[in-house]
Chain A
């Protein structure tokens, strides 16, 4: 289908200090209904959005990190996370939540949606998108 465009949502902000991260996630969920090719990129402080063990009870704000795990249900299958951004912040892939999707072409097998990529690979992902939405 030629009218399917590649949408890339670029996330560069930490989750609770500003509204960017939550807004991004909401737009992704709304946009997913339009059956485009959707991917998410996490770099710089954006990688903090995906860390395990978030508990916002004490700050009176909704913890939206569990919602990333629902993205597979919305046919969002690609969450690119930049390795350099993780390393600069003392993080590794083990610190991130698990997000899976069911692969339609492989007997609905559950596969990880998070792909840790190098900075150069991230630049390729960005250059490959038809539309880039920044948050």
Chain B
């Protein structure tokens, strides 16, 4: 049993990503969408925390949201995978439940 978590707010604006990381279980996936994609950037004040949690959960960003914001995938924390909308659907189907962190 595992959960797909989605986060759609910048971690620099709200607690959503950190709270999500605090509640995700090993084997869960976290997909950053909309402004949530800023959470995937390397070299930020949160990078270390996210890398630490990333050891137990799979991290994804929605590529169209990354592109829209002019962020190159090369700037992402290592191990974060970009997915398109079809990939988003696959992630939903692969997990037992989806939990949105608004």
Contacts and interface: CB of A to CB of B under 8 A. Distances in A.
A–B: direct contact at CB < 8 Å: yes
A122 B99 contact: no
Contacts of B102: 12-13, 20, 134-135
Q: Is the interface of A mostly helix, strand, loop or mixed?
A: mixed
B58 interface: no
B63 interface: no
Interface stretch (B20-28, B43-51, B74-82): B20-28
B26 to A, nearest CB: 11
Interface residues of B, number: 15
A44 interface: yes
Q: Is the interface of B mostly helix, strand, loop or mixed?
A: mixed
Contact of B100 (A13, A127, A134): A134
Interface in A92-135: 119, 122-123, 126-127, 129-132, 134-135
Contacts of B16: 12
A123 B25 CA distance: 7
B101 A134 contact: yes
Contacts of A129: 97
A123 B1 CA distance: 13
Interface in A68-93: none
Nearest to B102: A134
B99 A126 contact: yes
A127 B1 contact: yes
Given A132-B99, A134-B101, A135-B102, A123 B19 contact: no
Nearest to B1: A127
Contact of A10 (B1, B25, B99): B99
Q: Which 10 A-B pairs have the closest CB atoms?
A: A134-B100, A132-B99, A123-B23, A44-B19, A134-B102, A127-B25, A44-B15, A132-B97, A126-B23, A119-B22
Given A13-B102, A43-B19, A134-B102, 17 more contacts: A10-B99, A20-B102, A43-B23, A44-B15, A44-B19, A119-B22, A122-B23, A123-B25, A126-B3, A126-B23, A126-B99, A127-B1, A131-B97, A132-B97, A132-B98, A134-B100, A134-B101
Interface of B: 1, 3, 15-16, 19, 22-25, 97-102
